[in-house]
Structure 1
Amino acid sequence: MTTARDAQTTPSYGWPIFLLLAVAGLFYVKWFPYYHRAFTAEATHSIGKSILMGTEASPPAPSLSAALDYAWAYGKAIWQAMVLGLLLGSAVQVLLPVQWVARVLGRHGFGSVAAGGLLAVPGMMCTCCAAPVVAGLRSRNASAGGAIAFWLGNSVLNPATLVFMGFVLGWQWSALRLVLGVLMVFGLGWLANRLVTQDEARAADDRLAQLTHQQASGGNVFVRWLQLFLRMAARLIPEYVVLVLLLGAARAWLFPHIGPDVTSSLGWIVAFAVAGMLFVIPTAGEVPIIQAMLALGIGVGPAGALLMTLPPVSVPSLAMLAGSFRARVLAIVAAVVVLFGIVAGFAALALGF
């Protein structure tokens, strides 16, 4: 329950404003466009060109032009969701009661992991657009496991992407993604909470008391919201843009060859799993990428690896959350995502996709 102190210090209009922002923002940016996009996917068995290489057989050679072209295409696809992510990430820290975040997402058991994963499902954000919200949750004492489940669940358990995938690639791909996605999201969240030491748990309790006091002594809510929004944007956006530019230029190094000789061997599956984990794409971007690669003749093993590694994390999203998690936790997340990609590659091969 919300304590009397918390109820007195949190504005009564905080919850309604946050819910209005979340529902209206997600409806405009995600739910309504994806509803219509699902009919396009059903009718055409496509949701667009591969952002990785367009209609070409391979990504462009590394250059400034390649970097700018990718950043422009990527930016057009995600800028609205990024603005919404920053608004929600700053609003979490101002409009929601500290004790509520701690009660739902702050515990170190599986309950916070389950809550984080389930709350992520309607978000449908790509890994980088979800990162500001995750940073906001962590700053309000959300547990590592709950925050990671929310972060990964946005992209991996995205119901719209699963629908697109079914119409474009086949429902067997959606089923593989859903089964392994559930294991990834909730398993990694559970593991992150298991890694919390007693000292860290005590420090979290001390921080909760400090945050409650800060909320009690805070000034004008809207001024603080604007300040936090600008602070988060100034901290996260510059490094994000630089890393997107670098990855756009490096596409040909990460995916140097696409063709029939990219077989379902262990080497190729591992290589594509690592490349997919590092690379950054917009929401559901993996669907046309995999479709284009399969059309060019690559094995289902590397395609399966990309199915599980392209969406959940990337170099930019890992960098954006470097201040929110211990480096060891982020390294484990990245490594386990690659492992799931390898498992997905061999599963797609074994199941005869």
Structure 2
Amino acid sequence: MNATRPTPSSAASTWPIFVLLAIAGLFYVKWFPYYNRAFTAASTHSIGASILMGKASSPPAPSWSAALAYALAYGKAIWQAMLLGLLLGSAVQALLPAHWVARLLGKTGFGSVAAGGLLALPGMMCTCCAAPVVAGLRARQASPGGAIAFWLGNSVLNPATLVFMGFVLGWHWAGLRLVLGIAMVFGLGYLANRLVTPTEAQAADARLVELVGEQRDGNPFARWLSIFARMAVRLVPEYIVLVLLLGAARAWLFPQVGPEIGNEIVWIVALAVAGMLFVIPTAGEVPIIQAMLSLGMGVGPAGALLMTLPPISVPSLAMLARSFRPRVLTVVAVGVVAFGVLAGLLAVALGF
């Protein structure tokens, strides 16, 4: 997918508003709160209770009350970031010139993957809150690999989470996450770009020409409001339903937490799959793993959760089902599980 030549549009003068929204929103929702939380992590070696099971020794039995309790706790933790994600995802499509996204992220080489991964670093969003932005990037013809790298990089390479992890779990865990996270973000992004067919690349170029033409006319702010409303109506209801279902099913996904979950390969694979399916807020994996290790769970399953809890989930996969081919999302899901298994095996081999 090749970027087209710049064309004047109604969005050419609104990009500073997008930049201001991104900086102000991320500062309020992410940067400032995480700055303060880092001091808490350093002094107490904790960032709170596990959202998976609170102060209990295991998740609650499957029920609608468990579903509602988890949905409320999760919603309280992420609603501001989700709102920001919807605002940014719609603003990408309305306030930025269409060719800008394609120029930076639209090609199918490694350059767009590298750009997507690096742009994710200041975002620090959980997988579901980053999903609307990813949908906006794909709507503006970002390559699959560039968008996947941005999506995964937000949670896996989150600098704040790495700091929390170092203070709470130990810097060896943070190092494992960083090394495998870099491989996951840029490796799976590159693989996604390799799956692009010539026909898809030509279709993306043709669609980009249409988008540039569409932006020449109309009020960009009215377009922003319209896109925001469409994204919210399409993404939020299915997101809420899936979070409720996962909240109810967490006792099935994590049926036991304790010494009985050892370093056997079956447990590592099982926890890798469960972590890939489940949904958590940003940095939620840190107290979850801390609580599980304190109850005697093996380091192998903990390593699996380290790499699979944050990057994707059933809700975020559903939110992006229209933005990527099923084959791409399947490859990403399988790849995340594979990295989780690798992390578990390395944690055991390195004597964590």
Same fold by TM (over 0.5)? yes
Asked if structure 1 preserves the Cα contact closer than 8 Å seen for 2:11 and 2:215, the reply is no
Please give the alpha-carbon distance, in whole angstroms, between the structure 2 residues aligned to 1:82 and 1:28.
Answer: 13
Task: Report the equivalent of 1:235.
Answer: 234
Is 1:84–2:88 an aligned residue pair?
A: no
Shift of residue 12 of structure 1? 4.2
1:1-353 correspondence to structure 2 within 5 Å: 6=7, 8-217=8-217, 219-353=218-352
CA RMSD of aligned residues (A): 1.2
1:23-64 CA deviation, whole Å, 9 max, x = no partner?
A: 000000000000000000000000000000011111000001
1:292-342 CA deviation, whole Å, 9 max, x = no partner?
A: 000000000000000000000000000000000000100110000000000
Asked if structure 1 preserves the Cα contact closer than 8 Å seen for 2:12 and 2:96, the reply is no
Asked if structure 1 preserves the Cα contact closer than 8 Å seen for 2:271 and 2:304, the reply is yes
Q: For residue 215 of structure 2, give the secondary structure of its aligned residue in structure 1.
A: helix
Question: Aligned residues: percent identity?
Answer: 76
Gaps of 5+ in 1: none
Shift of residue 14 of structure 1? 1.3
Shift of residue 262 of structure 1? 0.4
AA in 2 matched with 1:318: L
Please give the alpha-carbon distance, in whole angstroms, between the structure 1 residues aligned to 2:132 and 2:94.
Answer: 14
1:234-289 CA deviation, whole Å, 9 max, x = no partner?
A: 00000000000000000000000011010000000000000000000000000000
Q: For residue 69 of structure 1, give the secondary structure of its aligned residue in structure 2.
A: helix
Please give the alpha-carbon distance, in whole angstroms, between the structure 2 residues aligned to 1:4 and 1:10.
Answer: 16
Asked if structure 1 preserves the Cα contact closer than 8 Å seen for 2:82 and 2:128, the reply is yes
Asked if structure 1 preserves the Cα contact closer than 8 Å seen for 2:120 and 2:154, the reply is yes
Q: For residue 225 of structure 1, give the secondary structure of its aligned residue in structure 2.
A: helix
What is the count of residue pairs matched by the alignment? 351
AA in 2 matched with 1:158: N
Please give the alpha-carbon distance, in whole angstroms, between the structure 2 residues aligned to 1:3 and 1:342.
Answer: 41
Asked if structure 2 preserves the Cα contact closer than 8 Å seen for 1:10 and 1:96, the reply is no
Asked if structure 1 preserves the Cα contact closer than 8 Å seen for 2:4 and 2:209, the reply is no
Shift of residue 68 of structure 1? 0.2
Structure 1 residues 292 and 5: CA distance shift in structure 2, 3 A: closer
Please give the alpha-carbon distance, in whole angstroms, between the structure 1 residues aligned to 2:59 and 2:140.
Answer: 41
AA in 2 matched with 1:9: S
Structure 1 residues 297 and 224: CA distance shift in structure 2, 3 A: same
Q: For residue 182 of structure 1, give the secondary structure of its aligned residue in structure 2.
A: helix
AA in 2 matched with 1:84: L
